[in-house]
């Protein structure tokens, strides 16, 4: 797919005086550049520092669950405009067209190496993965469904926090989702939270932090308050590694840091350790 794009670029430069330069990826963590093709090949992992970049929800599904096993729940749900916030509906329509997503999370059922799961994947391309009514409702329903069916939940989080345009209604989604997680937990359900870049604000302060097991991808941002807000409070620059996955692991808020290429296998092992085996023969 990418080679095609390459050829187009090459052709465009044919006959031009300057030498052809392949598209590059500049890592937000180490600030070094690598060929974009290499970064893509590694499923968006920086070849220089191992920063795990942002994936679309479709890409995440493709590398995580068994082929053709994903069945979406509540795919048609779209947000209302509870505060009649100016331009909010238009902004959503525009993003829906651009990304093909209806909001910032996709939920559904799937199998991982045969083990059944309810899975949720947040997508930072839709309003920075912020949590409004739709994210809150879909995640709540996913947990309620898992409780009813006795299924484990795997949630990939990626969010800038609350959906500002939904104000207090957005804040209340923290209570709604956390309540559903609690009922799932009280019923004996397993919940694995996988924090991806970035997991911050109201999502960190609700369902993302409530996993029985909390996994993070390398070098992703995890925190409650924004870095600039804290720098504003303390009036000094924060160290580079502040609020990265490794920092949160060191402080005891993340069980393990797992590389993307091993994620599927680790999730499969953890599911089996909790008794969730494939229905028929092991895949």
Partner 1 sequence: MDEKRTAWERLQLVHTKGRPTIKDYIPQIFTDFYEMHGDRLCGDDKAILGGIGRLDGRPVTIIAQVKGRDINENKACNFAMPHPEGYRKALRLARQAEKFHRPIICFIDTPGAFCGVAAEERGQGEAIAKNIAEFMTLRTPIISIVLGEGGSGGALALGVCDELAMLENAEYSVLSPRGFASILWKDASREQEASEIMKITAEDMVRLGVAEAIIEEPLGGAHNDLDKISENIKEYLSQKIPEKCQKDIDVLLKERYTKFRKIGAFTE
What is the contact mask toward partner 1 in residues 78 to 107, using x (rule: CB under 8 A)? xxxxxx-xx---------------------
Nearest-approach distance from CB 229 to partner 1, in angstroms: 5
Minimum CB distance to partner 1 smaller for 111 or for 193:
193
Does residue 1 interact with partner 1 by CB under 8 A? no
- Which of 57, 255, 72, 69 lies closest to 156, judged by CA? 57
Minimum CB distance to partner 1 smaller for 117 or for 174:
174
Minimum CB distance to partner 1 smaller for 90 or for 282:
90
Chosen residue from 113, 179, 255, 274 binding partner 1 by CB under 8 A? 179
Query: Which stretch, 12-20, 24-32, 106-114, 166-174, contacts partner 1 (CB under 8 A)?
Result: 166-174
Dihedral of the alpha carbons of 30, 31, 34, 37, in degrees to the nearest 10: 90
Distance from C-alpha of 38 to C-alpha of 217, rounded to nearest angstrom: 19
Tokens coding 39: 């970064």
DSSP-assigned beta bridge partners for residue 216: 195, 257
Distance from C-alpha of 196 to C-alpha of 159, rounded to nearest angstrom: 9
Helix axes 260-273, 57-64, angle to 10 degrees: 60
Chosen residue from 206, 218, 219, 270 binding partner 1 by CB under 8 A? 206
Tell me if 34 sits within 8 A of 249, measured CB to CB: no
Does residue 42 interact with partner 1 by CB under 8 A? no
Does residue 237 interact with partner 1 by CB under 8 A? no
Tokens coding 275: 């008794």
Nearest-approach distance from CB 33 to partner 1, in angstroms: 28
Q: At 30, is the secondary structure helix, strand, or coil? A: coil
- Which of 139, 129, 136, 142 lies closest to 95, judged by CA? 129
Chosen residue from 24, 238, 273, 283 binding partner 1 by CB under 8 A? 238
Sites of contact with partner 1 (CB under 8 A): 74, 76-83, 85-86, 133-134, 136-137, 140, 162, 164-176, 178-183, 185-186, 201-202, 204-210, 223-226, 229-230, 233-234, 238, 242-243, 251-253
């Amino acid at each position: 797919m990418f080679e095609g794009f390459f050829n187009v670029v090459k052709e465009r430069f044919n006959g031009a005086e300057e030498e052809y330069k392949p598209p590059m990826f500049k890592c937000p963590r180490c600030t070094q550049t690598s060929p974009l093709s290499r970064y893509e090949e590694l499923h968006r992992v920086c070849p220089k520092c191992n920063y795990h970049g942002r994936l679309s929800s479709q890409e995440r599904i493709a590398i995580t669950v068994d082929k053709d096993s994903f069945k979406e729940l509540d795919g048609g749900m779209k947000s209302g405009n509870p505060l009649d916030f100016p331009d909010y509906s238009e902004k959503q329509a525009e993003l829906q067209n651009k990304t093909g997503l209806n909001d910032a999370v996709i939920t559904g059922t799937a199998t991982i190496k045969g083990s059944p799961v309810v899975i949720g994947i947040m997508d930072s391309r839709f309003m920075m993965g912020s949590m409004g009514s739709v994210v809150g409702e879909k995640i709540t329903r996913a947990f309620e469904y898992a409780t009813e069916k006795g299924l484990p939940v795997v949630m990939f989080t990626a969010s800038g926090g609350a959906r500002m345009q939904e104000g207090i209604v957005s804040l209340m989604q923290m209570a709604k989702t956390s309540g559903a997680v609690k009922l799932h937990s009280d019923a004996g359900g397993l919940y694995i939270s996988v924090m991806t870049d970035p997991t911050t604000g109201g999502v960190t302060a609700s369902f993302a932090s409530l996993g029985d097991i909390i996994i993070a991808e390398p070098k992703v941002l995890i925190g409650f308050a924004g870095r600039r807000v804290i720098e504003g409070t303390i009036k000094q620059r924060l160290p580079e590694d502040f609020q990265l996955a490794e920092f949160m692991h060191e402080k005891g808020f993340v069980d393990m840091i797992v590389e993307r290429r091993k994620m599927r296998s680790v999730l499969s092992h953890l599911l089996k350790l909790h008794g969730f085996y494939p229905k028929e023969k092991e895949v």
